[in-house]
Amino acid sequence: MTTIKFQLETLSCPSCIKKIETALKKQKGVNEAKVLFHSSKVKTEYDETLVSAEQLKDTILKLGYPVLK
């Protein structure tokens, strides 16, 4: 398992957390996805043989949340 952290622009509401976590957890190979509202960070634990960091980033972007890094 690999862990990656993404920094997002400021999240505007707590429901954003659920939306992002749910979408990431649906990805094959994702073991855990945790969004920290106040710091706008996403921590994801995943199997890099099943999904790439770029795919995870694209999932967040498709939801409309810009990833800063």
Q: Is 61 helix (H, G, I), strand (E, B) or coil?
A: helix
The fraction of the chain above a pLDDT of 90, given in percent, is 81
Domain residue ranges of the chain, discontinuous segments joined by +: 2-62
pLDDT band at residue 69, thresholds of 50, 70 and 90? confident
Buried residues in 5-36 as b, exposed as e (16+ CB within 10 A): ebebeebeeeebbebbbebbeebebbeebebe
The model's pLDDT over 2-34, given as tens digits with 9 standing for 90+, comes to 999 999 987 888 888 999 999 999 999 999 999
Phi, psi for residue 24 in degrees, rounded to 5: -70, -40
**Considering the chain, what is the average pLDDT of its residues?**
93
CATH 3.30.230.80 describes domain 2-62: no
What is the pLDDT, as a whole number, of residue 20? 95
- pTM, whole model, 2 decimals? 0.89
Residue with structure tokens 């967040």?
60
What is the pLDDT, as a whole number, of residue 31? 96
